[in-house]
């Protein structure tokens, strides 16, 4: 098995390379996320209204999805906040 000679200079160079790669990947992820969340620039009033309606629908959809997930998790009987109804 060949021995690898690790020197402080080689370690510093490798760290600099990895930091640069991380920075490039992070910038690419930020650009992709911004492209997914930003809407197109509106030029007319009707486009602004349509963009606002689209945002409102997305917010409503997110809230309803979260509420449904919350209700689904709450249905488990072992969770402490579940209240059991008394049978009459």
Residue 88 lies in a domain: no
Q: Is residue 54 part of a domain?
A: yes
Shared domain for 51 and 26, answered yes or no, is no
Q: How many CA atoms lie within 13 A of 34 on its CB side?
A: 6
**Structural tokens at position 1:** 């098995």
pLDDT digits (tens, 9 = 90+) for 54-73: 888 988 999 999 999 888 77
Q: pTM of the prediction?
A: 0.45
Q: In 3-state terms, what secondary structure has residue 47?
A: helix
Which residues form the domain of 54? Answer: 44-82
Question: Are residues 53 and 78 located together in one domain of the fold?
Answer: yes
* Domain match, 30 and 52 both: no
Q: How many domains does the chain have?
A: 2
H helix intervals, 38-82: 45-74
Residues 6+ apart with CB under 8 A from 55: 39
51 and 78 belong to one structural domain:
yes
Q: Which residue has the tokens 């030029």?
A: 43
Residue 63 lies in a domain: yes
Give the pLDDT confidence of 6-49 residue by residue, as tens digits.
899 999 999 999 999 999 999 999 888 877 767 677 788 898 89
Tell me the three state secondary structure of residue 57. helix
């Amino acid at each position: 098995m060949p021995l690898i000679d690790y020197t402080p200079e080689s370690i510093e160079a490798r760290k600099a390379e990895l930091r640069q790669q991380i920075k490039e990947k992070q910038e690419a992820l930020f650009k992709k996320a911004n492209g997914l969340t930003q809407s197109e620039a509106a030029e007319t009033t009707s486009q602004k209204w349509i963009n606002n309606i689209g945002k409102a629908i997305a917010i409503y959809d997110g809230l309803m999805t979260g509420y449904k997930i919350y209700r689904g998790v709450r249905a488990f009987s072992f969770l402490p906040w579940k209240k059991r109804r008394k049978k009459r």
